[in-house]
Amino acid sequence: MESRGVASLYRNLAVAYPRANAKPFEPERTRPKMTSLISWIAADSRGPTSAYFASDSRISWPRVGVWDQARKLFACRRYPHIFGYCGEAFFPTQTLSQITELIDSDLLPGGPSDPVDKCTDQIVSTIESALKTYPAAAKQPFDVLYCMREGEFIPSRFHLRQITFDPIAGTRVSSIEIPGCSQVVAVLGSGSKVVRMHLSDWNSSDVGGTSRAAFSAFCDSLRSGSDPYSGGPPQLVGLWRRSAPRTFGIIWQQRRYFYGVETEAKGAQNEVRWYNELFEICDPHTLAGNPSAQRQPRPKRT
């Protein structure tokens, strides 16, 4: 005989994962988009120098629970492309990891000389093709945030796209303008209101409009717990005027995380740059700020 707990779990799983022969799922238009996702541009006197994505690590299942080790950011290892997503979790996690591998293997356009429209069209086509074979009962809306760089060094240009996939409304690609100064350019997901509230506090301080303000505000929003669909350690990827993107380790609540997974410090000092929630460069062994890097104390107004 099944216990009440096991029977209850089966019922909850049946709700979260409909049978393949169930009626097609129609997304609730008011359902929140899981995740907190932010992007910002850093700039100097010559223009944009880098682009960053940060996200949380939580996936939520209605009436089942949450998991705080989900990967939500993706970066190519050879070519200048970074991705993040919000909304439905399983499908984007699979397809974005495949897309970064396809680009790095030269099976999709993505070199520094490839134009943004060509790259975007191929990425959208690849995702739409995969969606055609995805079970109708499992399809839910999601957004992909995509940044690439054309060229290298000073003549290079950053491009940012928000790609919305909706099983009812279809696909929509929106271009997000890249500013000439340091600035947050996108805040998406169920936690967007909370993130913007903390951004307002940081932007009114003496470090407003900096990468430090953007990332610290994002971390404050996660720590607050105000959005139940966002949580776990933050994730961070960046793209510069030259070379491939970088994925950063995060010191969060005195623990080390990489793409949301807790890790040890073995070999990390030489391969990965580590930041804490105040965007200070840290030593992964001691967890303290790197003595050779500038300290970034929290402003009083935050």
Tell me, letter by letter, the H, E, C secondary structure of 226-249.
CCCCCCCCCEEEEEECCCCCEEEE
Contact 241, 152 (CB under 8 A): yes
Average pLDDT taken over every residue of the chain: 88
- Number of other residues whose CB lies within 10 A of the CB of residue 228: 13
Alpha-carbon distance 201 to 2, whole Å?
Answer: 52
Q: What 3-state class would DSSP assign to 291? A: coil
Alpha-carbon distance 31 to 50, whole Å?
Answer: 33
pLDDT at residue 152, as a whole number: 87
Share of the chain above pLDDT 90, in %: 75
H/E element, 128:
helix 116-132
Structure tokens at 129: 């093709």
Q: What is the mean pLDDT of residues 53-67?
A: 92
**For the ranges 58-72, 122-136, 258-272, which has the lowest average pLDDT?**
258-272
Q: What 3-state class would DSSP assign to 102? A: helix
Sequence spans of domains, the chain:
30-191+224-261
Structure tokens at 75: 């970066």
- CATH 3.60.20.10 matches 30-191+224-261: yes
294: DSSP letter:
P
Structure tokens at 5: 């707990």
pLDDT at residue 33, as a whole number: 58
pLDDT at residue 27, as a whole number: 43
- Which residue type does 203 have? N
| Band (28; pLDDT cuts 50, 70, 90) | very low
Q: How far lies 185's CA from each of 115, 179, 209, 223, 260, in Å?
A: 21, 8, 11, 22, 23
Pick from 5, 154, 25: nearest CA to 91: 25
Contact 226, 218 (CB under 8 A): no
pLDDT at residue 255, as a whole number: 95
**For the ranges 83-87, 282-286, 294-298, which has the lowest average pLDDT?**
294-298
Alpha-carbon distance 252 to 70, whole Å?
Answer: 16
The residue assigned the tokens 């169920």 is 190
pLDDT at residue 267, as a whole number: 60
Residue 164: alpha-carbon gap to chain centroid: 15
pLDDT at residue 31, as a whole number: 47
